[in-house]
Amino acid sequence: MMLIHFYLKALNISLGDDSPFDTAIQVVFSNIPAPSIIPTTPSDDHIYYNRSVPQPLSLKDDCLDYLNSKVMALETEYRERSARRAKLQRGIKAMWDELQVTDRSIPMTESVALEYLDQLQKEFDMLHSLLRRMTDDYIGKYHDLLLALWDRCMVSQQDRETFIESLHEQAETMDQVKQMVKDHIQYLQRIEPHSIKVFKAIKVRKTQIQKMVEFEKTASDPRRLFKSSFQLLEEEKWRKTCFPTLLRMEEDLEIAVRELECIMDVLWFYGFLQSNPQKQPRRILLQVE
């Protein structure tokens, strides 16, 4: 009962009238001051436990189960609000210092009332919008460099947007923004030569596949038989070597991808190409546009 009383006061909420238990609990609380700190052990002579508690409050299982579920629900909300308050206060303090704000009129208290959390949120959003503009201005200085590195490292548009958003969401100071940008650029520069190697291997493989497609179109044309014997001989040689050549390209590509995976600490998406149905499928990188 004391826990329920404490949480109701801390959360600045009241029980409804939907349950007879809630109505009885409110009667018990009506003339008792709520605890100011989370109670740990009940006192034997505390007024919560006198014999004149209103019905249907009792020691029956249904009542105890209801009280327990009420405590758990209120405790969950209290913890969630406490975590939100701590995050907002930490961010506000950091941005106050970063932006050198002199008007720090919002008190840093232990309250978890929604009214107080709304005040914190409003202050946080206002400060964060200022920091966001400063972040965008700073990113603008590195726009061309980032764009070139992203292109050479084959960074998807989604990953680019995710990085920019991480600056806005995670950084609470410009020092953090600068460090995150610096780390990201160094990371891209580290993987750049490996990414270029993969890109070239993909391009070579794509060209080879296109040649094979074009060759099959030409080979199905009956007019090819009127070509010179030398041309027909060259085509036959190419027919015999094109697929083994493609397999070697696949191996080169897989090696390049493995090297890049080690640097990036990620796994790329592979498909399968079988040169022999009886053997283990050879893994290949799916075509990257």
Q: Identify the pLDDT of residue 244.
A: 85
Q: Decide if 163 is inside a domain.
A: no
Whose tokens are 């009956």? That residue is 222
According to DSSP, residue 52 is labeled: T
According to DSSP, residue 225 is labeled: G
Three-class SS state of 260: helix
Kindly tell me the burial class for residue 11, based on how many C-beta atoms sit within 10 Å of its own C-beta (0-12, 13-18, 19 or more).
Answer: middle
Contact of 15 with 26, CB cutoff 8 Å: yes
Domain that holds residue 203: 191-285
HSE (CB half, 13 Å, CA atoms) of 195?
A: 18
If asked whether residues 216 and 106 sit together in one domain, one would say no
If asked whether residues 4 and 113 sit together in one domain, one would say yes
Dihedral (Cα; 7, 10, 12, 13), 10-degree rounding: -10
Single out the residue in 127, 160, 180 at which a domain terminates. Answer: 127
If asked whether residues 116 and 222 sit together in one domain, one would say no
Single out the residue in 127, 144, 164 at which a domain terminates. Answer: 127
Rounded Cα gap, residues 166 and 198, in angstroms: 27
Q: Decide if 169 is inside a domain.
A: no
If one counts the domains in the chain, the total is: 2
If asked whether residues 93 and 8 sit together in one domain, one would say yes
Q: Decide if 160 is inside a domain.
A: no
Q: Decide if 63 is inside a domain.
A: yes
Q: Decide if 141 is inside a domain.
A: no
pLDDT in tens, the chain (289 residues): 888 888 888 998 888 767 888 888 888 888 788 888 887 765 544 666 665 778 888 888 898 898 899 999 999 999 999 999 999 999 999 889 888 888 888 999 999 999 999 999 999 999 999 999 999 999 999 999 999 999 888 888 998 999 999 998 888 888 899 999 999 999 899 888 888 888 888 888 888 888 888 777 776 666 655 566 666 666 777 778 788 888 888 887 877 777 776 776 554 544 333 333 333 333 333 334 4
Q: Decide if 175 is inside a domain.
A: no
Q: Decide if 55 is inside a domain.
A: yes
Single out the residue in 78, 109, 127 at which a domain terminates. Answer: 127
- Indicate the length of the chain as a whole number: 289
Single pTM value for the model: 0.59
Cα-only R_g, the chain = 34
Q: Decide if 145 is inside a domain.
A: no
Contact of 177 with 138, CB cutoff 8 Å: yes
If asked whether residues 123 and 3 sit together in one domain, one would say yes
Q: Which two tokens stand for residue 207?
A: 């060209």
